[in-house]
Amino acid sequence: FVDFTMDTVPLRQSSTVSIGRIKPELYKQKSVDSEEAKEPVETCGKLSFSLRYDYEEQALVVRILKALDLPAKDFTGTSDPYVKIYLLPERKKKFQTRVHRKNLNPTFDETFCFPVVYDELCNRKLHFSVYDFDRFTSHDMIGEVVVDNLFELSDLSREAVVWKDIHAATTESIDLGEIMYSLCYLPTAGRMTLTVIKCRNLKAMDITGSSDPYVKVYLMCDGRRLKKRKTTIKKSTLNPVYNEAIIFDIPPENVEQVSLSIMVMDYDRVGHNEVIGVCRTGPDAEGLGRDHWNEMLAYPRKPITHWHALGEWPGRAASFESQGSCPSPKPPHTP
C-alpha cells in the first residue's frame, strides 16, 4: 500500500503551453463550423420509437420500441444493449431502458415522459444513445439517434411510430465540450502537478442554456480511487477559466501504476450534481490521454498542455465504483 497524498494550490504563474515534439496536427479537432463536405455517416442498426404529446400532463411521451441489427461489441459475438434518452438542451432529466443481455435485436417497449410545454417542443430535440453494458469496465457507446424536428411526422396528437438509422459514434462525437489542462512531473521530488486551465463549449445542463461547472479529479490505481480533489465552481458559464493546480505526490516507482480520471461536473444547489463529461490520462488511457501522459514523462519538469475532448459518462462503471487503496504497488524509494 502506498499512501499517495495531494493538495491543491493556487496557480501563481501562468501556465505555458508546451506540446514538446508531438505533432499538433495529430490532435486537431474537427470544427463544428467546418465548410468541408460532410463524410457519409456510418450506421450501425436501426432504432424504433414512438412520440406522442399528452396535453393533460403537458408532457412528451416517448416509447422506445426496439432496435435491429446492432453490432456485436463483445468477444462472444453479441452485445448487452440499453438506451439512454435526453430531451435537449436539458441534460439533467434523462431516462434509461433496461439492459437486454446478449441480444442484437432487443425489444425494449418502455415508455418515458418528459414534462415540457407544447409550444417549447419546436426548440427541443431528442437524443438517444445506444450503449453496450459492461459489468467490469466503461460501457461502450454503440451509436446515437438525434431527432431535430419532433413534428417531422405529425403534430403528436396521436402516437407516431418512427424508425431511424443509428449513427455510429464515439464519445468525442457527442460534443460535450473540451478541457485544457497541463501535466508536469518532477521525478526527484516524486511530485506531479495537474493544472486545470479552462474549458470551452461545455454542454448546457440547465434549461437556461448554461451550467455551473467545476472539475473533479480522481487519482486511480488498478481501477480504485486513491484520492479526490476538485476545483472551485464557476457560475453560469460554458467557458470557465480556472487556472488551479492540483499536486499529487507520486514516487517514480509508482508513476506507471496510476492514472487520472477527470470529470467536469455541473453544480446544483438543490438537486444532485451532474456529470457534464469525462476524460482520462495515464499509461492505460486511450489516444491523446495516453500520449499526454507519456509526453509528461518524456519531458520532466516541463508543463505539457493539451486540449482534451470530453466523453459522455455512460453510468456506473466498475472503475469508478470501487474505492480503497492500491493493492501491492512497489514501495516508495527511501533515500
Would you state the pLDDT for residue 224? 85
In this predicted structure, the answer to whether residue 325 has a pLDDT above a threshold of 60 is: no
Same domain, 181 and 302: yes
Q: Is residue 26 part of a domain?
A: no
**What value does the mean pLDDT of the chain take?**
79
Same domain, 295 and 186: yes
Same domain, 74 and 159: yes
- Residues 228-280 have pLDDT tens digits of 999 999 999 999 999 999 999 999 999 999 999 999 999 987 778 888 889 99
Q: Is residue 30 part of a domain?
A: no
Considering the chain, what percentage of its residues have pLDDT values greater than 90? 39
pLDDT band at 314 (very low <50, low <70, confident <90, very high): low
Asked which of 168, 195, 226 is the last residue of a domain, the reply is: 168
230/134: higher pLDDT:
230
Same domain, 146 and 265: no
Q: Is residue 98 part of a domain?
A: yes
231/124: higher pLDDT:
231
- Residues 55-98 have pLDDT tens digits of 989 999 999 999 998 988 777 778 888 998 988 777 667 788 99
Question: What is the residue-wise DSSP string for 54-96?
Answer: ETTTTEEEEEEEEEESPPP-STTS---EEEEEEEET--SSEEE
Q: Looking at residue 275, which CATH number applies to its domain?
A: 2.60.40.150
The domain of 257 spans 177-310
Same domain, 148 and 255: no
In this predicted structure, the answer to whether residue 100 has a pLDDT above a threshold of 50 is: yes
Asked which of 168, 203, 228 is the last residue of a domain, the reply is: 168
Same domain, 50 and 73: yes
Would you state the pLDDT for residue 180? 95
Would you state the pLDDT for residue 132? 83
Number of structural domains found in the chain: 2
Question: Which grid coordinates are listed for 218?
Answer: 480522481
- Residues 218 and 265 sit within 8 Å (Cβ to Cβ): no
Would you state the pLDDT for residue 39? 55
Asked which of 134, 168, 202 is the last residue of a domain, the reply is: 168
Q: Is residue 328 part of a domain?
A: no
Same domain, 202 and 161: no
Q: How far apart are CA 146 and CA 132, in angstroms?
A: 18
Same domain, 294 and 197: yes
